Amino acid sequence: MNKQERVTFVINTLNELYPTIPIPLNHKDPYTLLIAVLLSAQCTDVRVNQITPLLFAKADNPYDMIKMAVEEIKEIIRPCGLSPMKSKGILGLSHILIDKHGGEVPQSFEYLEELPAVGHKTASVVMSQAFGVPAFPVDTHIHRLMYRWNLTNGKNVVQTEKDAKRIFPEEIWNDLHLQIIWYGREYSQARGWDLEKDIITKTIGRKTVLEDYTKKYTSSK
């Protein structure tokens, strides 16, 4: 297959597997999504979804959040990891949302990325999932799969995002990045990967990736 054929195969396969696409992080509005995405850094979505109801029961908007002490926030979100940084970020961005944006989450990459503890990936998730703006947030799952599928040579998520935006149609970015995340979790994991179940990598995978898998599998027998 040439590159365009591989791209089409990926899109068609993912549409068959995920005709409806669940949002990984539970939320009710842009603010709760922003907080959930911030908490998901180096933490599983499952864990975040267990913790956010506890936090949002006390504060699900910036006005209530700034009434909390940073230590109180830190104690609630501790299971998500990086709690000192994340708690300061949550409190700091809540103040900024009130002071600069009328308590609303801004619909702007520039303004979102100005917020404490909010990087480009977090901003991209909020823009795409909360506001429907085309974006292609690249996490470790997408980075791993784009490389395995020989659709990027990117050594980092920045290059992988550029490649994804170049080869996939803009109108499907918001759905596709979620489909790839779900596929990576279910069929193309970093550890315990079973190539026989990973139909996309098995069909279009990078030659060196397939050879490495075969060597590892053969040597383990």
* Catalytic (active-site) positions: 121, 139
**N residues, the chain:** 221
Residues 175 and 194: their CA atoms lie apart, in Å, by 25
- Residue in the structure block whose two tokens are 């913790």: 51
What is the DSSP code string of the chain? --HHHHHHHHHHHHHHH-SS---SS--SSHHHHHHHHHHTTTS-HHHHHHHHHHHHHH-SSHHHHTTS-HHHHHHHHGGGS-HHHHHHHHHHHHHHHHHHHTTS--S-HHHHHTSTT--HHHHHHHHHHTT--------HHHHHHHHHTTS---SSHHHHHHHHHHHS-GGGHHHHHHHHHHHHHHHS-SSS--TTT-HHHHHH--HHHHHHHHHHHHHT-
CB 187, CB 148: distance < 8 Å: no
